[in-house]
Amino acid sequence: MARHNYPESVDFHAVGVSSDSDLNPFRIVQRQVDEAAEVLKLDPAIHELLRWPLREFHASLPVRMDDGTTRVYQGFRVQYNDARGPSKGGIRFHPDETIDDVRALAAWMTWKCALVDIPLGGGKGGIICDPRTMSQGELERLSRAYIRQIGHNIGLDRDVPAPDVNTNAQIMAWMVDEFAFMHGYNEFGVITGKPLALGGSLGREDATGRGLMLTVREAAKKLNVDLKGARMIVQGFGNVGSWAAILLQELGCKLVGVADVSGAWSNPDGIDALALQAHVKEKGVIQGFASAGKPVDKEAVLELPCEILVPAALHNQIRKDNVARIKPRILAEGANGPTTPDADPVLYQNGVYVIPDFLCNAGGVTVSYFEMVQNAYNFYWDLPTVHDRLEQKMAAAFDSVHEMAQTYKVHNRLAAYLVAIHRVAEAMRLRGWA
């Protein structure tokens, strides 16, 4: 792999990049870009541009708390690359958020939009906070403070945020209202993942899980894997993991292992994904669900025998130290960055068919794009139309990655990067950026 110098003006400590961590998500992104650029023989200037965000915003957000005190939160918005269209990406509320996390996620959004061939670039936002300790009023004031800081740099033709970790349709509603107040008019398309009453799209809630299911279905066709009775394990049972489990269950798969922050469980007889989702919505965690089976180690659940493994929780779950023990037939990455670069070659050698994250979980941004289109035209689609168009996009993206992998004889993640980066680089070249 070629080595590349960083710009002399960049101070790693100042911008929060850990220069000595192999698990730093932004470092991982840059390594993946370097690998794809070498295969594609990219122009050096385009290659260097693809390694860095085009622009990013850092903001201090003063919020009046319920006890009358004022607390200052730190927020970010990264617009990674908009060569193919306006930036698009969610907003996270998390106590451990970092600028490098946001940069990496914005980069992955860039590749994701290119891979499913929608005319958008990549963006991401984050606020360092713990929403579990905040009231609804405090969350609303924080959401509005964030939009007051970035509201002049977003818009239907600039950058369109959406929900992500610990944010939801209600938070998006507050944000779109604050944007309207700032500008003096409604522009519902500035935010996606909104409630239906404010221009949200049908099919958005289960879109990411549905996209995952569709890619697993396509992979099973290529591999001649019978999904009737296929065992699946799902790590993380939030929106993505739960809907993926439910929709795969409808295809005949059997949920035999599951994990979240409260623990991990195994049940060879099968776990009812729909009933488990209802339990988690009520209780917040899997713990206490009577039919979950016997407790197992959180790390070991990934190593249980199965045909389909769905990591839908955190990044860096499949690593060099545990990858040799993880042997599903299909690895469907619902989370962003669950597999480290050192683990990819081992999975490939072991015959594990990886559906990489920015293909596997692209259903969410695809339906968000559909929401933008509907907002722009003020004309809304029925649910079958959303599902049909999502299926077309996901199947076409899957085929492009599979064919690229076969052509270059590489693993699927690198193939996905080759497809996506080629498309972004071509747009940059045509625009004269390098």
Under 8 Å between Cβ of 81 and 121: yes
d(CA 32, CA 39) in angstroms, rounded, equals 11
Measured in degrees and rounded to the nearest 5, phi and psi for residue 251 equal -85, -5
Considering 88, 124, 194, 393, which one is annotated as catalytic? 124
- HEC string for 256-322: EEEEECCEEEECCCCCCHHHHHHHHHHHCCCCCCHHHCEEECCCHHHHCCCCEEEECCCCCCECCCC
Residue 355 is encoded by which pair of tokens?
């559906």
221 has catalytic annotation: no
Residue 303 is encoded by which pair of tokens?
């190593």
d(CA 257, CA 235) in angstroms, rounded, equals 8
Give the helix/strand (H/E) hosting 160.
Answer: strand 159-163
Under 8 Å between Cβ of 252 and 228: yes
Q: Which residues pair with 7 in a beta bridge?
A: none
d(CA 65, CA 70) in angstroms, rounded, equals 6
d(CA 91, CA 76) in angstroms, rounded, equals 9
d(CA 43, CA 58) in angstroms, rounded, equals 31
d(CA 108, CA 112) in angstroms, rounded, equals 6
CA distances in angstroms from 331 to 77, 169, 216, 418, 426, listed in the order given: 31, 29, 9, 20, 30
Torsion angle defined by CA atoms of residues 189, 195, 200 and 206, in that order, rounded to the nearest 10 degrees: 130
Q: What's 337's DSSP letter?
A: S
Residue 261 is encoded by which pair of tokens?
């922050």
Torsion angle defined by CA atoms of residues 385, 388, 393 and 398, in that order, rounded to the nearest 10 degrees: 160
Direct distance between the N- and C-terminal alpha carbons of the chain, in angstroms, rounded to an integer: 22
- Residues tagged active-site: 124
